[in-house]
Amino acid sequence: MRGEPGPKRPVTLDDVARYAGVSQPTASRVLNGSARKVAESYRQRVIEAARELGYTPNLPAQAMARGTSRTIALLVSLIADPYFSAMAAEIMKQAEAVGLHTSIAVTDRQADRELDLVRVLRGQQPRAIILAGSGYIDPPDEQALVDELHRYQDTGGRVVLVSRSDLPFETVDFDNHAGARQLARELARIGYRKCLVLGSGTPLLSMQQRVEGFLDGLIEEGVTDAADHVHHPEFSWKGAREFVLSLTDDQLRELHLVFAVTDDMALGALAGLRERGLRIPEDIGVAGFDDITTLRDVVPTLTTVHVDLHTLAKEAVHRAITPDRDLTRRPAPAYPVLRASTPPH
């Protein structure tokens, strides 16, 4: 008598070939891609057999056989963050345009997790690893991460950094400092002199650059006490909202503007200001950084720094598949966009 059925084994290329009545090399040429042409009747039989059997190509095996892979591994800080989800979507779109797949892993802004993920990815042999997100001001395992990435490159992989400049690898970036600095100068010129600056409670390099850039812009326009109004709440919508709610009425009355280092935090601040009974922009202005797509639903429309994610993603994927290393930094556009949340003060 038969016992209980065990787990089914994966369908192999040999299974597909037998089911289609063709040789294994012919099935491989159809399903794995080949410069050699296969007769249309055979091609259709193989495709139909693969569909009926539920065959899925073994991508790591293909990578080993070809010496390359059709997968790009993308590491992002947070996928729930609107900025990083938009960036991931653009990178996936650009990779698909050149016939590549994208796998995504999330570091949760944890340096040790980022290192562990890179170690795992080395064994999976993706064609490239793209690390997207801010580096840390003083990361605990930076040299260990650099060593792992160099080992990966030594086996033929590519490493590309997006929106971070803390590691010695090819970088596609935008100037956080310059974007924030120009925004501050334009806002100061239309009357915003008393500005609350909400930085990041997490020690992220790009967020520090945005704070420093905004302060430099205010100082250049003659605001002498700019650094006195910088705070670093929890790095989130909730953190910005709760910080605004903690301010006294007198503190709020003195302010012309709240600038947050991300749009997500700016929207949290905006929510907190409204809970305190303030009108935006009649009583106080609000500005952010990133120009996330969800801003189109915000009233009033939010002043921010626009980051060209399309250009950023296209350049990142180009570098991921181009064999020659090029350490030249080519910043993507990042520029202020003044909207209804900051009319002339």
229-249 per-position pLDDT tens digit: 999 999 999 999 999 999 999
78 pLDDT higher than 70: yes
182 and 271 part of one domain? yes
Taking residues 54-66, report their average pLDDT: 60
Whether residue 276 lies inside any domain: the answer is: yes
Annotate the chain with three-state secondary structure: CCCCCCCCCCCCHHHHHHHHCCCHHHHHHHHHCCCCCCCHHHHHHHHHHHHHHCCCCCHHHHHHHHCCCCEEEEEECCCCCHHHHHHHHHHHHHHHHCCCEEEEEECCCCHHHHHHHHHHHHHHCCCEEEEECCCECCCCCHHHHHHHHHHHHHCCCEEEEECCCCCCCEEECCCHHHHHHHHHHHHHHCCCCCEEEECCCCCEHHHHHHHHHHHHHHHHCCCCCHHHHEECCCCCHHHHHHHHHHCCHHHHHHCCEEEECCHHHHHHHHHHHHHCCCCCCCCCEEECCECCHHHHHCCCCCEEEEECHHHHHHHHHHHHHCCCCCCCCCCCCEEEECCCCCCCC
Bridge partners, 161 (sequence order): 131, 171
211 and 300 part of one domain? yes
Taking residues 34-59, report their average pLDDT: 78
141 and 20 part of one domain? no
Number of structural domains (the chain) is: 3
103 and 30 part of one domain? no
Give the model's confidence band at 172: pLDDT under 50 very low, under 70 low, under 90 confident, else very high.
confident
Name residue, tokens 């997790």: 113
Structure tokens at 127: 């064609």
pLDDT at 202: 79
- The CATH number linked to 26 is 1.10.260.40
pLDDT-above-90 percentage for the chain: 47
Give the model's confidence band at 64: pLDDT under 50 very low, under 70 low, under 90 confident, else very high.
very low
Whether residue 4 lies inside any domain: the answer is: no
pLDDT-above-70 percentage for the chain: 88
Taking residues 170-188, report their average pLDDT: 93
48 and 80 part of one domain? no
Taking residues 277-297, report their average pLDDT: 94
Structure tokens at 93: 């779109």
CA 267 to chain centre: 19
Of 3-7, 23-27, 77-81, 273-277, which one has max mean pLDDT?
Answer: 273-277
Q: What one-letter code names the amino acid at 291?
A: D
88 and 116 part of one domain? yes
For the chain, give the mean pLDDT.
Answer: 87
197 and 303 part of one domain? yes
145 pLDDT higher than 80: yes
Range of the domain at 34: 13-57
301 and 153 part of one domain? no
pLDDT at 270: 97
Q: How far apart are CA 22 and CA 41, in angstroms?
A: 11
Structure tokens at 198: 């909400």
Nearest to 103 by CA among 138, 123, 82, 128: 128
Alpha carbon separation from 133 to 161, 237, 267, 287 (Å, rounded): 8, 18, 20, 21
pLDDT at 68: 59
- The CATH number linked to 82 is 3.40.50.2300
Model pTM?
A: 0.75
2 pLDDT higher than 50: no
Bridge partners, 257 (sequence order): 195, 285
Q: Is the peptide bond before 281 cis (omega within 30 degrees of 0)?
A: yes
Between residues 255 and 134, the one the model is more confident about: 255
Q: What one-letter code names the amino acid at 236?
A: S
Taking residues 294-309, report their average pLDDT: 92
Whether residue 7 lies inside any domain: the answer is: no
> Environment class of residue 321 by beta-carbon count within 10 Å: exposed (0-12), middle (13-18) or buried (19+)?
middle
